[in-house]
Amino acid sequence: MKRKAAIIGSGNIGTDLMIKIIRNSSVLEVGCLVGIDPNSDGLARAKRMGVETCSEGIDGLIQMDIWKEITVIFDATSAKAHLYNLEKIKPFSDKKIVDLTPAAVGPYVIPAVNFDAELCNKLGLVTAINSESVLNMVTCGGQATIPIVAAVRRIAHVHFGEIVASIASKSAGPGTRANIDEFTETTSEAIQKIGGADKGKAIIILNPAEPPLVMRDTVFTLSETADRETIRESIHAMVAEVQKYVPGYTLHQEVQFDDIPADKPVFIEGLGYKHGLKTTVLLQVIGAGHYLPEYAGNLDIMTSAALAVGEKMIG
């Protein structure tokens, strides 16, 4: 018997997640799609698909009969709204929460990293996510790039990890635009906490190109010197792991390496001068096209990862 999930947020991410659960999940079903705009496209689409809706936010959902049947709540609103929603949900200890905003309240989760016990042991991470009631999905850029940092880290100590996420402007809704600062801060922190780098840096670019380009991500790491082929194999294995839940996730070019010699170190703020092996990884993420076009890979990787986590949380 499928367990019921509620999705708070009827925008791009919430609507895409709703369709993914309906089409792909064998253990979850959408009990209710929640928004605050009764005229939103997401709520209208949910009604057409036979999904119960609520246009009065979390307060309205709690008053509905369906509330007592909800097991997992996906919050696809904004960092600020999540804090409000969380306070309303806290008294109901039987509810699990998957946070798709950059609020960073609960532990960060990257399925390809946190679900791998061996990798978690190497990175010093906790794997028992089922005991947590609130889990944070970092950001779309974090979901795409942090697995690569972790792939390098399991081979060699990573001094610095920098990611650049480029997404189509058309795929960035009001929630994404209102959370740019939170995006960079949360992703940078997760590069360290989940990726295992001593220091992290994140940059997001909203690309206005027409026609819209697919999501592209560039990952730079500076690590201790290690065997290049071993690092390359680790990265390829990680890409294959992410592809299990995001089929459109691929290497855009082959992995590139550069030596940073000891007599020509680079300065990293907060770390000082460092040398070693620079690894460059170029990725692209093509969306499944469930709600928005394929160029919206940034939505696809967030919703696909969130679904994987939600299913894991209920066992």
164 and 232 Cβ atoms separated by less than 8 Å: no
| pLDDT for position 61 | 98
pLDDT in tens, 249-302: 999 999 999 999 999 999 999 999 999 999 999 999 999 998 889 999 999 999
Residues of the chain with CATH 3.30.360.10: 140-292
Predicted model pTM: 0.94
Q: In the CATH hierarchy, which top-level class contains the domain 3-101?
A: alpha beta
Residues 6+ apart with CB under 8 A from 197: 149, 153, 158, 159, 160, 161, 191, 221
pLDDT reported for residue 199: 98
SS3 275: coil
Q: What angle do CA 138, 306, 161 make, to 5 degrees?
A: 30
**What angle is formed at CA 296 by the lines to CA 145 and CA 256, rounded to 5 degrees?**
35
For the question of residue 32 being annotated catalytic, the response is: no
Q: Is the peptide bond before 293 cis (omega within 30 degrees of 0)?
A: no
Q: How many degrees, rounded to 5, is the angle at CA 79 between CA 167 and CA 212?
A: 15
Asked if 34 and 70 touch (Cβ cutoff 8 Å), the reply is no
Question: Mind listing the pLDDT tens digit for each residue in 20-77?
Answer: 999 999 999 999 999 999 999 999 999 999 999 999 999 999 999 999 999 999 999 9
What would the pLDDT profile of 215-235 be if each residue is shown by its tens digit? Answer: 999 999 999 999 999 999 999
Q: Which two tokens stand for residue 255?
A: 């992995």
Looking at the predicted structure, is the pLDDT value of residue 18 above 90? yes
The answer to whether 148 touches 172, Cβ cutoff 8 Å, is no
- Other CB atoms within 10 A of residue 267 CB: 8
What's the pLDDT tens digit per position in 177-219? Answer: 888 898 999 999 999 999 999 999 999 999 999 999 999 999 9
Residue 122 is predicted with a pLDDT of 82
Tokens of 139: 């950001």
Q: Indicate whether 129 pLDDT > 70.
A: no
The tens digit of pLDDT for each residue in 108-125 reads 999 999 888 788 888 888
Cα-to-chain-centroid distance, residue 232: 23
Query: Shortest CA distance to 137 belongs to which of 296, 264, 313, 315?
Result: 313
pLDDT at 128 over 60: no
Q: What is the mean pLDDT of residues 133-144?
A: 94
Active site residue: 32, 54, 120, 140, which one? Answer: 140
Residue intervals of the chain classified under CATH 3.40.50.720 are 3-101
Q: What pLDDT was estimated at residue 131?
A: 66
For residue 257, the Cα-to-chain-centroid distance in whole angstroms is 26
> What kind of fold does domain 140-292 have according to CATH?
Dihydrodipicolinate Reductase; domain 2 (3.30.360)
Task: Determine the pLDDT at residue 117.
Answer: 79
pLDDT for res 130: 61
Q: Is the per-residue pLDDT at 126 higher than 70?
A: no
- CA gyration radius, the chain: 19
